[in-house]
């Protein structure tokens, strides 16, 4: 066990690192942040911020030596340099978990090897025959870059044969994964935690609504059949155990119109759809990550109230500073801003949660409050 008072290091300085640092410091831990860009959101609340490239092995090792355990807050940290950390201190989740999840080809192959339900897919190497890959999967499909994709970046829907030439031009020479297009009923996610002792805990399943490929609303409890909830929880547990997770992972899932639950993507860190846990769960996903990587018992994941989380994007600043006073005047709202210096369209600047008697009521209120803020 790594007791309070020791130092946790986090790779990445975004909002997930910021909220992780806030949870860690509340429990009495010190927090060091390693981030290439200076004055990052996580660094503003950490005890120490180190700015250097992830590939700078000397800086990375020096950072690791000051930490009793190191984790990461997003999956685009290069996995290769992280192998140097495990010779200096603990890295959790293990770099192999990151290596699997940060590349769509490796991730899909892993899902197939574990016989987990997923969309049909094909891989095309750099310079390979993309048209043949599309024919293998069939139209409609989605073409995705193998590396560094998130929030809809690096992907293109191919809904008819007429869309194929655009895909060939856009992804020429790139390694890609081609996935069967799933006409899903809804998207859900399950944030799962696993401790070093093998204990597993799954947060209440969340229903997610996206806009322009970016998460817009997260609704808890998810408005799905009990069988779907049970299947999602079972899949999340299975993934955590099979990948040998120590930490927290977001498991994104499709629910088909026939009620089948398919694993879409894995994120080996706290997840955007789990931010509601700060305000409406007995233990937040961020505290749970601290508990898992430090060897503390996992906390209870009891839902305290139906809740909806709303992402606040940079678009909310299009008419000037949003009306924070009006939003925070609602007694059922909790506002979380990430301390980012510049608001840009599509950039996640913060979120707010709305609690109510039912999920439907919380969603109705959340939509009206979002309209007020963006109006």
Q: What pLDDT sits at residue 247? A: 98
Q: What pLDDT sits at residue 151? A: 56
What's the average model confidence in pLDDT over 289-314? 98
Put residue 42 in one of left, alpha, beta given phi > 0 → left and psi -120 to 50 → alpha.
alpha
- Give pLDDT tens digits for 71-111: 999 888 888 889 889 889 999 999 999 999 999 999 999 99
Q: Which residues pair with 157 in a beta bridge?
A: 142
**Over 90: is that where the pLDDT of 63 sits?**
yes
3-class SS of residue 319: coil
Cα Rg, the chain, nearest whole Å: 20
Q: What are the structure tokens assigned to 120, written together?
A: 């049909």
Q: What pLDDT sits at residue 80? A: 86
Dihedral of CA atoms 244, 245, 251, 257 in degrees, nearest 10, equals: 30
Q: What are the structure tokens assigned to 13, written together?
A: 């300085």
3-class SS of residue 326: helix
What strands, in cross-sheet order, belong to the sheet with 121-124?
121-124, 176-180, 141-145, 155-158
Q: What pLDDT sits at residue 147? A: 82
For residues 105 and 175, is the Cβ–Cβ distance under 8 A? yes
What's the average model confidence in pLDDT over 278-294? 98
For residues 144 and 179, is the Cβ–Cβ distance under 8 A? yes
Q: Write out the H or E segment, with its range, that includes residue 165.
A: helix 164-170
% of the chain exceeding 70 in pLDDT: 98
Ordered structural domains, the chain, with CATH = 7-91 (3.40.50.20), 120-180 (3.30.1490.20), 184-374 (3.30.470.20)
- Give pLDDT tens digits for 110-169: 999 999 999 999 999 999 999 999 999 999 999 999 986 565 578 899 999 999 999 999
The pTM for the full model equals 0.95
**Over 70: is that where the pLDDT of 296 sits?**
yes
Average pLDDT over the chain, rounded to whole?
A: 95
């Amino acid at each position: 066990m790594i007791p309070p008072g020791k130092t946790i290091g986090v790779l990445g300085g975004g909002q997930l690192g910021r909220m992780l640092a806030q949870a860690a410091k509340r429990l009495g831990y010190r927090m060091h942040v390693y981030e290439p860009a200076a004055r990052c959101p996580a660094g503003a609340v950490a005890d120490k911020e180190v700015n250097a490239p992830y590939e700078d092995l000397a800086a990375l090792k020096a950072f690791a030596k000051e930490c009793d355990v190191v984790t990461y807050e997003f999956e685009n940290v290069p996995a290769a340099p992280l192998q140097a950390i495990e010779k200096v201190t603990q890295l959790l989740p293990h770099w192999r978990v990151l290596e699997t999840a940060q590349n769509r080809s490796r991730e899909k192959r892993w899902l197939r090897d574990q016989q987990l339900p997923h969309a049909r897919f094909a891989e095309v190497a750099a310079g390979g025959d993309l048209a043949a890959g599309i024919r293998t999967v069939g139209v409609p499909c989605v073409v995705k870059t193998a590396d560094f994709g998130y929030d809809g970046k690096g992907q293109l829907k191919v809904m008819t044969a007429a869309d194929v030439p655009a895909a060939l031009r856009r992804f020429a020479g790139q390694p890609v994964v081609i996935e069967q297009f799933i006409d899903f009923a809804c998207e859900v996610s399950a944030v799962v935690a696993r401790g070093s002792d093998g204990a597993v805990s799954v947060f209440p399943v969340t229903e997610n609504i996206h806009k322009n490929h970016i998460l817009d609303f997260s609704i808890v409890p998810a408005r799905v059949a009990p069988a779907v909830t049970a299947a999602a929880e079972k899949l999340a547990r299975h993934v955590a155990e099979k990948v040998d997770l120590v930490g927290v992972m977001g498991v994104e899932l499709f629910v088909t119109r026939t009620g089948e639950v398919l694993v879409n993507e894995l994120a080996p860190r706290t997840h955007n759809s789990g931010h509601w846990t700060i305000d409406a769960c007995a233990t937040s996903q961020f505290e749970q990550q601290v508990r898992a990587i430090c060897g503390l018992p996992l906390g209870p994941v009891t839902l305290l109230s139906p809740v909806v989380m709303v992402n606040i994007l940079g678009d909310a600043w299009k008419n000037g500073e949003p009306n924070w006073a009006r939003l925070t005047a609602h007694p059922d709202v909790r506002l979380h801003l990430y301390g980012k210096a510049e608001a840009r369209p599509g950039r996640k600047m913060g979120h707010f949660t709305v609690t109510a008697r039912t999920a439907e009521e919380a969603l109705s209120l959340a939509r009206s409050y979002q309209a007020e803020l963006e109006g």
